[in-house]
Amino acid sequence: MLEYTPILVRKDLEVTGLIGKPKTGYSVNELLEAISKFVGWSQEWRAVLVGTGNLGSALLKYPWLIEHGLRFVAAFDNHPSRSNIVINNIPVYSMDFFSTFMDEHRVEIGVVAVPASSTQKVVDLLVEKGVQGIWNFSSTQPKVPEGVIVENAVFTLSLASLTRRLLERKIGE
Q: What are the residue boundaries of the structural domains of the chain, listed by start?
A: 6-39, 45-157
- 173 residues of the chain, pLDDT tens digit each: 677 887 787 777 878 887 777 777 788 888 888 878 787 777 899 999 999 999 999 999 998 877 888 999 999 999 989 889 999 999 999 999 999 999 999 999 999 999 999 999 999 999 999 999 999 999 899 999 999 999 999 888 888 989 988 998 888 77
Distances (CA, A) of 82 to 24, 57, 94, 98, 121: 54, 10, 8, 14, 19
Q: What angle do CA 33, 11, 147 make, to 5 degrees?
A: 70
Assigned fold of 45-157: Rossmann fold (3.40.50)
Determine the Cα–Cα distance for residues 122 and 112; give it in Å rounded to an integer. Answer: 7
Q: In what order do the strands lie in the sheet with 45-50?
A: 85-87, 90-94, 70-77, 45-50, 109-112, 133-136, 149-152
